[in-house]
Homo-oligomer: A and B are copies of this chain.
Amino acid sequence: MLWCGWGDPAKAADLPGPVRDLLAETLGVRAPGRPPAALGDVRLPPVALPAGLLAGLGALAGAGGLRTDDEARIGHTRGRSTPDLLRMRAGDAADAPDAVLLPGSHDEVEEALRYCSAHRIAVVPFGGGTSVVGGLTARRDGFAGVLALDLARLDRLVSVDAESKVAELEAGLRAPRAEELLAGHGLTLGHFPQSYEYATLGGFAATRSSGQASAGYGRFDDMVAGLTLATPRGTLRLGRAPKSAAGPDLRQLVLGSEGAFGVITSLRLRVREAPAETVYEGWRFATFAEGAAALRRLAQLGAAPAVIRLSDETETLVGGALPGGPAADGGCLAVAGHEVGDAAASRERAASVLAGLGGVPLGAEPGEAWARGRFTAPYLRDALLTAGATVETLETAAFWSNLPRLYDAVRSALHGALGQALVLCHISHVYETGASLYFTVVTAQTADPLDQWAGAKRAASEAIVAAGGTISHHHGVGRDHLAGYAAEIGDLGVDILRGVKERLDPAGILNPGVLIP
**Which one of A32-40, A412-420, A482-490 contacts B?**
A482-490
Instruction: Kindly state the separation between the CA atoms of A370 and B474 in the bound complex, as whole angstroms.
Output: 43
Give the number of residues in A that approach B within 8 Å (Cβ atoms).
88
**Which one of A3-11, A311-319, A464-472 contacts B?**
A464-472
Contact (Cβ within 8 A) A498 B488: no
Question: Which positions 494-510 of chain A face chain B at CB distance < 8 Å?
Answer: 495-500, 502-504
Candidates B236, B248, B270, B470; contact of A432 at CB < 8 Å: B270
Instruction: Kindly state the separation between the CA atoms of A244 and B258 in the bound complex, as whole angstroms.
Output: 14
Candidates B207, B246, B273; contact of A470 at CB < 8 Å: B246
Contact (Cβ within 8 A) B433 A247: no
Shortest beta-carbon contacts, A-B, top 7 = A252-B252, A242-B431, A241-B397, A499-B499, A499-B503, A244-B470, A164-B399
Q: Max chain B CB contacts within 10 Å: which of A302, A434, A474?
A: A434
Contact (Cβ within 8 A) A301 B341: yes
Contact (Cβ within 8 A) A231 B492: yes
Flag whether A493 is at the interface (Cβ < 8 A): yes
Instruction: Kindly state the separation between the CA atoms of A399 and B160 in the bound complex, as whole angstroms.
Output: 13
CB distance from A326 to the nearest CB of B (A): 26
Candidates B164, B238, B433, B495; contact of A165 at CB < 8 Å: B433
Flag whether A201 is at the interface (Cβ < 8 A): no
CB distance from A233 to the nearest CB of B (A): 6
Contact (Cβ within 8 A) B488 A240: yes
Candidates B240, B245, B301, B504; contact of A496 at CB < 8 Å: B504
Contact (Cβ within 8 A) B245 A474: yes
Contact (Cβ within 8 A) A241 B398: yes
Q: CB-defined interface of A245-256 with B at 8 Å, one 1/0 digit per residue?
A: 111111011111
Question: Which positions 314-361 of chain A face chain B at CB distance < 8 Å?
Answer: 341
Given A209-B245, A235-B492, output 15 extra A-B contacts at Cβ < 8 Å.
A163-B400, A225-B399, A233-B492, A240-B470, A243-B431, A244-B472, A245-B472, A245-B477, A246-B485, A247-B257, A247-B477, A248-B254, A272-B432, A498-B503, A499-B502
Instruction: Kindly state the separation between the CA atoms of A270 and B432 in the bound complex, as whole angstroms.
Output: 8
Instruction: Kindly state the separation between the CA atoms of A503 and B493 in the bound complex, as whole angstroms.
Output: 10
CB distance from A414 to the nearest CB of B (A): 20
Cβ–Cβ < 8 Å partners of A28 in chain B:
none
CB distance from A432 to the nearest CB of B (A): 6
Cβ–Cβ < 8 Å partners of A474 in chain B:
245
Contact (Cβ within 8 A) A165 B244: no
Flag whether A190 is at the interface (Cβ < 8 A): no
A residues apposed to B, CB below 8 Å = 161, 163-166, 207-210, 219, 221, 225, 231, 233-238, 240-250, 252-258, 270, 272-273, 296, 300-302, 341, 396-402, 429, 431-436, 468-477, 481, 484-485, 488-493, 495-500, 502-504, 515
Contact (Cβ within 8 A) B255 A248: yes
Sample (5) of A-B pairs whose CB atoms are under 8 Å apart: A237-B490, A241-B469, A242-B431, A270-B432, A495-B504
CB distance from A259 to the nearest CB of B (A): 12
Q: Max chain B CB contacts within 10 Å: which of A435, A502, A503?
A: A503
Q: Max chain B CB contacts within 10 Å: which of A233, A237, A241, A254?
A: A241
Contact (Cβ within 8 A) A489 B246: yes
CB distance from A235 to the nearest CB of B (A): 7
Cβ–Cβ < 8 Å partners of A254 in chain B:
248
Cβ–Cβ < 8 Å partners of A245 in chain B:
207-210, 256, 470, 472-477
Cβ–Cβ < 8 Å partners of A247 in chain B:
256-258, 476-477, 485, 489, 497, 515
CB distance from A234 to the nearest CB of B (A): 6
Contact (Cβ within 8 A) B255 A249: yes
Residue of B nearest to A244 (CB): B470
Instruction: Kindly state the separation between the CA atoms of A177 and B39 in the bound complex, as whole angstroms.
Output: 68
Query: Are A495 and B503 CB-contacts (below 8 A) given A245-B473, A255-B248?
Result: yes
Cβ–Cβ < 8 Å partners of A400 in chain B:
161, 163-165
